[in-house]
Amino acid sequence: MAGSLLDHFAALSDPRQSWKVVYPLPEILLVVLCATIAGAEDFVEIRRWGTMNRDFLRRFLSYADGIPSHDTLNDILNALDGDLFARCFGDWVEGLREAEPDIVAIDGKTSRWTHDRAKDRNPLHLV
């Protein structure tokens, strides 16, 4: 997952001075994107989501220094090229849309108390 997601953001360059980098840009991008998709609406919520889901994130990247503070996330995201970020994100979403699913899952429910045996009427099934 992270590989294909982060591959779409490879065009983004890290604007920070290399000797000052504590949190690698791919780790920041992954936590920001995952948290935002999960409903986080600001950097405090992104940090909270990242902290609560650190084990999930570590399945893809190391997060050796943990999750950055909300201020660090804000500073780094604001330093990125916003137009390029939007294009990278759009390309990733478009790639998801182009993928053809191998399986289509259909879930059905049977509504209780909708059958009438006296009238030989089956229960209501919803898909």
Q: Model confidence over 5-37: pLDDT tens digits?
A: 889 999 999 999 999 999 999 999 999 999 999
**Domain presence at residue 62:** yes
Cα angle vertex 43, ends 39, 46, to 5°? 45
Cα angle vertex 27, ends 82, 64, to 5°? 150
**Domain presence at residue 118:** no
3-state secondary structure of 109: strand
**Domain presence at residue 24:** yes
**Domain presence at residue 27:** yes
Residue 125: per-residue pLDDT: 47
Residue 4: per-residue pLDDT: 82
| Full-model pTM | 0.74
**Domain presence at residue 71:** yes
**Domain presence at residue 119:** no
Query: Distance between CA atoms of 60 and 54, rounded to whole angstroms?
Result: 10
Residues of the chain with pLDDT under 70: 1-3, 98-116, 119, 121-127
**Domain presence at residue 126:** no
Q: Which residues contact 46 (CB under 8 A, 6 or more apart)?
A: 31, 32, 35, 36, 40, 70, 73
Measured between its terminal Cα atoms, the distance across the chain in Å is 30
The CB density around residue 74, as the number of other CB atoms within 10 Å, is 16
Task: Write the DSSP symbol of residue 40.
Answer: -
Domain that holds residue 14: 2-102
Helical axes 43-52 vs 70-79, angle rounded to 10°: 120
| Residues paired with residue 113 on neighbouring β-strands, in sequence order | none
Number of structural domains (the chain) is: 1
